[in-house]
Amino acid sequence: MNVLIVYYSMYGHIHRMAEAVAEGVREVPGAEAVLRRVPETLPPDVLEKMGAVEPQKAFAHIPVATVDELASADAIIFGTPTRFGNMCGQMRQFLDATGGLWVKGSLVGKAAGVFTSSATQHGGQESTILTFHTFLLHQGMVIVGLPYTFAGQTRIDEITGGSPYGASTIAGGQGERLPSENDLAGARFQGRHVAQIAAKLNG
C-alpha cells in the first residue's frame, strides 16, 4: 500500500513533520511512505532574501511531486505551512493542476489528511486545514483527521500544535522553534491513522 506524503516546506518545519508522518505510516504492516515536495514557485533571489536557501538544502534530495503520482497512490497526506490562515501558494498552484484527475474521478475514495505549521500559536492552523479540506471533498476523497485518541492534543502543560483536523506545529516568528516531541508524536499518529484507514478502504 502506497501512502504519498506531499508537502511544501520553506524552512524545514513541515519537512520534519512530514518525516514523522512517514514514520507513522511505516508502522502499519504493508504500508510504504513516499515523500514528495511540490514545485517551488519563488525565484532563487527571493528565496535568498527570505533566508530560505540554506534551510532547503536539507531536503533538496526529496523528489518533486507530479500530479500523476496522486492518482497512483492509495492514500495521500498533504503538508503545508499556513499563509494568512490558508495553504501556501506553492501548494495551491500544484493542486490547481489536478483538474484532469477531477474529470476522471482519479482521487475518489482515497483516504487523505492534512498537517500544517504556523509562526504563532493562533496563526491559522485550523483554518488552513479546514480550507484545505474543501479541495479533498471536491476530489471525492475520504478526510482523515487526528482523533482525540491521540492524547497529546489535550495537553496543557506546554504550548503545542495538533487539533482534531490534523497534526501541526508552531515555528515561531523567526522560525526558531522546531517541532516539539509532542508535535512529532501527533504527526506520527496521523500518518499511522491514515494508513490504517486506507488499509480498511482498500480491503
- Tell me the binding residues: 9-14, 82-84, 102, 138
Q: Which residues are annotated as a binding site for substrate?
A: 102
| Burial readout 62-93 (b: 16 or more C-beta within 10 A, e: otherwise) | beebeeeebbebbbbbbbbbbbeebbbebbbe
Q: Write out the three cell numbers for 79.
A: 503538508
Q: Interhelix angle for 13-26 vs 181-201, to 10°? A: 50
**Of all helices (H) and strands (E), which one includes residue 170?**
strand 168-170
Q: Which long-range contacts (C-beta less than 8 Å, at least 24 apart) are formed by 94-102? A: 94/6, 94/8, 94/38, 94/39, 94/65, 94/67, 95/135, 97/67, 98/67, 98/70, 98/139, 100/67, 101/67, 101/70, 101/71, 101/139, 102/138, 102/139
Distances (CA, A) of 138 to 48, 49, 58, 98, 143: 36, 36, 34, 11, 11
Q: Which residues are annotated as a binding site for NAD(+)?
A: 11
